[in-house]
Amino acid sequence: MRIYLIGYMGSGKSSRGSELATKLGYKFIDLDEMIEKDNKRHIADIFKTNGEQIFREMEQKALQKTFKKDDIVVATGGGAPCFFDNLKEMREHGITVYLQASVGMLFHRLATSKGDRPLIKDLKDVELVLQIRDQIANRERFYTKAHYTIDAEDLKASDLVKLLSKELKKSQN
């Protein structure tokens, strides 16, 4: 089985994904880390040197590699489901889970880690709040097509395990 965690940056995809993979005995893949490893460059450098379009093409190729793996949990980048046919392919090759978070929660999490994130690193706090709000408004139509939507505010990996276990049992009957 393949589980794809989608949602805005800062929603907990990487942290909860790693915990979930451990609980399930699966391998964890952070798509951004995979891109960095495959291209021997940091995401910020790819954005700066090649631009977002080239990054999105690299992201698509990395995502497609996951379709050949089994028993994995994949934390996607926040924009991954919104480009090409990425979301459709994730849905066809696995279970997609949208970690939904409020603008306030995302701002709280992202304000302290802006330097690590190329799309927000130069934004002032007000600009960050507006960008989060606007991007969620644009991306929500993709995110909500996930198989499941889970509130990321108080999310624990055990909640994900319970949900997915129930759904797996249903699909096997």
Alpha-carbon gap, residue 84 to 121, rounded angstroms: 25
- Mapping DSSP to helix (H, G, I), strand (E, B) and coil, where does residue 7 land? coil
Q: Which of 113, 137, 160 is nearest to 10 (CA)?
A: 113
- Per-residue pLDDT of the chain in tens (173 residues, 90 and over written 9): 899 999 999 999 999 899 889 888 999 999 999 999 999 999 989 988 999 999 999 999 999 999 999 999 999 999 999 999 999 999 999 999 999 999 999 999 999 988 878 789 899 999 999 999 999 999 999 999 999 988 888 767 677 777 776 766 665 55
Running DSSP on this structure, what letter comes out for residue 67?
T
Whole-structure pTM value: 0.92
Residue 44: what pLDDT? 87
Give, in order, the Cα–Cα distances in Å from 169 to each of 117, 143, 162, 166: 38, 24, 11, 5
Contact 10, 110 (CB under 8 A): yes
Distance in angstroms (rounded) separating the CA atoms of residues 88 and 71: 19
Angle at 115 (CA atoms; ends 137, 152), nearest 5 degrees:
45
